[in-house]
Amino acid sequence: MENKENNNIDIKEAIEVIKDVGLNIYTPRTTDKGFIKVYLKAIEDILPKLSGNALKVLLALSMELEWDKCEVIVTTERLLRITGLNKDTIRTCLDELEKNLIIKRLGPNVRRSYLVSNKYVRLGKSK
């Protein structure tokens, strides 16, 4: 690593050296993609009230989120494929999530969408 004129280390170069030796370093400019944020306190409060299958359905719905939207349009068939659960279990889980105010069903069954509360989960921002 070369020093600049005022003896400061070039930060970008230092980060590259750290990454080259196999270490990870968090930098605010690093873009994480393809993750779901889970808000620990809110999830901790709701977990005792949810079944494992309801949590699975919540994560499946969360996979369909977009960064700037809380509404997802997803078919029951897609939820079946993602979760491996059967149709009746999916319906029961959706009822459970709605009862606990984690989701809200919107529209008729044919064109159903879901409003997912961003109090519990949110899609990680990607640029």
The confidence score (pLDDT) of residue 6 equals 53
Comparing CA positions, the residue from 81, 91, 87 lying closest to residue 54 is 91
33-123: what fold? Arc Repressor Mutant, subunit A (1.10.10)
Dihedral of alpha carbons 73, 75, 76, 81, sign: negative
Question: Whole-model pTM above 0.75?
Answer: no
Residue 3 binned pLDDT confidence (cut-offs 50, 70, 90): very low
DSSP 71: E
* Backbone conformation region of residue 92, classed left if phi is above 0, alpha if psi is from -120 to 50, else beta: alpha
Task: Read off the pLDDT of residues 6-45 as tens digits, 9 standing for 90 and up.
Answer: 556 677 788 788 888 888 776 655 555 677 888 889 989 9
Tell me whether residue 39 is exposed, middle or buried, using C-beta atoms within 10 angstroms of its C-beta: 0 to 12, 13 to 18, 19 or more: middle
Q: Which residue spans of the chain are classified as CATH 1.10.10.10?
A: 33-123
CA 3 to chain CA centroid, Å, is 41
